[in-house]
Amino acid sequence: MSENYNNIIETLDVIYAASGGKLKVFLTRKKDDPYKGYWILPSDFLKNDETLDDKAMEIYQKTTSLSNGKISQSKIFSDLNRYPDRRIIAQSYFAITDERLVTIKNENEESAWFDTDELPKLAYDHEAIILAVTKEVKTKIINNTDDILLDFFPNDFTLPELQKFYETVMGKKMDRRNFYKKFVSQDLVLDTGVKTAGSSGRPGVLYRFNVEKMRGKRV
Amino acid sequence: MSENYNNIIETLDVIYAASGGKLKVFLTRKKDDPYKGYWILPSDFLKNDETLDDKAMEIYQKTTSLSNGKISQSKIFSDLNRYPDRRIIAQSYFAITDERLVTIKNENEESAWFDTDELPKLAYDHEAIILAVTKEVKTKIINNTDDILLDFFPNDFTLPELQKFYETVMGKKMDRRNFYKKFVSQDLVLDTGVKTAGSSGRPGVLYRFNVEKMRGKRV
DNA sequence: ACAAAAGTGTTAACTTTACACCCATGT
DNA sequence: ACATGGGTGTAAAGTTAACACTTTTGT
């Protein structure tokens, strides 16, 4: 096959977390030109003896220092002018984790979580990539496709926190009493008995998802 | 960049139609070895100056002889042993059309619609590809993501036909009266006044989707 | 007449929506 | 005491679920 058919592919990971009711994404800061100081998604080029899924998992593990996690394919970007020299195809993946599990190591590189509604200056077309992947992830959240809510909230949370997250994702306010009723009366959440403390105002009750009831549940 | 980073990519189209309450897929028969006589998805290799979306649309138009249509990215397949010689990455797309609009031309190649529940012998990993893409499409149907139902039923249909389609996709039977009520009482469908004829049994009423009401509607 | 497929109504359970005041903590 | 944020009830409307018989056509 002629060399016209040789394509360069990079794999990109968009790593999400639900934190403080926000949908956040993990980015690192580019250390050298071009786009020095701009933020980028963790990525790597694909060799022709590697699978994309393996590569995406490798990037995820390297970025988060977590050994386990689920990654899912998202969109592919093949515009001819993504990069200046020659076309490089980007295959995006998304992963979901708990912000508290990721230790940010500032040795060689700077990295941080950003609210998806307040992204910093991003290199290349990474902003467009994040927007596209985020749109897809939001659709999955709204339909709870693949039980994605359990990935976002594997541990304890307060109902106000969950509600803020929903409001962020759906882009609209909801009534607190109705929100509580929906989750509590349908037994979708379990009361852990623990209360939050430290912040101003009345403490909240910590819940956790009732995995049995949530699995396959369209919320 | 070393030649280890040269990847071959093929674009595959999984073309769907809702017909007689079934979810069908369009396949062509392979004319030469290997896998002579087996069925395959329409596909083509990607040159490094072509975008995947353009290539997928080109395949769609060539296959269906339709000039317009919507194609959507689905999964990517990058297993190292998809093909015997070297790894070829497959990017799948799906398209939805009306079976009646596609004229099957039997000049050079044989092609046909197949029920996704009764697939013929397929070449390479095309069966696995169809299964994976179909799973994704079914999830979209159940949630009406991207108003996919309007793509499947752009024209008239009977409620029994729509119900059979749902039953196929969800894998369970539904109550006819409740099904009617859901669509009629919520004004999701409009009575065209026309009745079907020709088949045995009582004629059905032809409906069409109320596009305004269906847009964004989670059914 | 019979077979095949489509049409139709009612009730109970459940879910959603709309709406406003009180409670527990930190300062 | 007051500011902050969390917790809670009720009634009406809408949706879903469970249930069987009748109607229209073709043969």
Model pLDDT, residue A163: 98
Tokens 């790894």 -> residue? B87
Mutation choice for A interface testing from B1, B7, B44, B133 by most A CBs within 10 A: B7
Model pLDDT, residue A2: 80
A75/B143 Cβ within 8 A: no
What distance in Å separates the CA atoms of residue A190 and residue A195, rounded to the nearest whole number?
13
What letter would DSSP give residue A7? B
Model pLDDT, residue B2: 80
List CB contacts of B94: < 8 A, sequence separation 6 or more. B13, B14, B15, B16, B71, B72, B74, B133, B136, B137
pLDDT per position as a tens digit, B146-196: 999 999 999 999 999 999 999 999 999 999 999 999 999 999 999 999 999
Task: Write out the H or E segment, with its range, that includes residue B158.
Answer: strand B157-158
Model pLDDT, residue A27: 98
Q: What residue ranges in chain A does DSSP mark as E strands?
A: 8-19, 22-29, 39-40, 43-45, 71-77, 88-96, 111-115, 157-158, 189-195, 205-209
Tokens at residue B128, please? 């696995």
Tokens at residue A52, please? 């994309």
Model pLDDT, residue A79: 98
Tokens at residue A154, please? 């594997």
User: What's the average model confidence in pLDDT over A117-134?
Assistant: 98
CB B122 within 8 A of CB B1: no
Please give chain B's pLDDT, 219 residues, in tens: 788 999 999 999 999 999 999 999 999 999 999 999 999 999 999 999 999 999 999 999 999 999 999 999 999 999 999 999 999 999 999 999 999 999 887 766 799 999 999 999 999 999 999 999 999 999 999 999 999 999 999 999 999 999 999 999 999 999 999 999 999 999 999 999 999 998 899 999 999 999 999 999 999
B91/A76 Cβ within 8 A: yes
DSSP B3-67: GGG-BEEEEEEEEEEEETTEEEEEEEE--SSSSTT-EE--EEEPPTTS-HHHHHHHHHHHHH--S
Q: How many CB atoms lie within 10 A of CB A104?
A: 14
Q: Which nucleotides of C are covered by protein (CB under 7 A)?
A: 3-10, 15-20, 23-27
State how beta strands A189-195 and A157-158 pair.
unpaired
Does the pLDDT value for residue A1 go beyond 80?
no
Q: What's the gap in Å between the CA of B81 and the closest CA on chain A?
A: 10
Model pLDDT, residue A109: 77
Average pLDDT, chain B: 96
Select from A190, A178, A188 the least CA-distant residue to A216: A188
Tokens at residue A81, please? 């002018």
Q: Cβ contacts (< 8 Å) between A48 and chain B: which residues?
A: 4-8, 86-87
Model pLDDT, residue B93: 99
Q: Cβ contacts (< 8 Å) between A75 and chain B: which residues?
A: 73
C-alpha distances (whole Å) from B157 to each of A4, A100, A207, B168, B188 are: 46, 52, 46, 16, 13
Q: If contacts are CB pairs under 8 Å, which of residues 25-64 in chain B contact chain A?
A: 45-49, 51-53
Does the pLDDT value for residue A103 go beyond 90?
no
What letter would DSSP give residue A138? H
Model pLDDT, residue A3: 83
Task: Write out the H or E segment, with its range, that includes residue A82.
Answer: none
List CB contacts of A120: < 8 A, sequence separation 6 or more. A27, A38, A39, A114
Model pLDDT, residue A179: 98
Model pLDDT, residue A216: 95
What distance in Å separates the CA atoms of residue A5 and residue B6, rounded to the nearest whole number?
8
Select from B32, B156, B50, B147 the least CA-distant residue to B100: B156
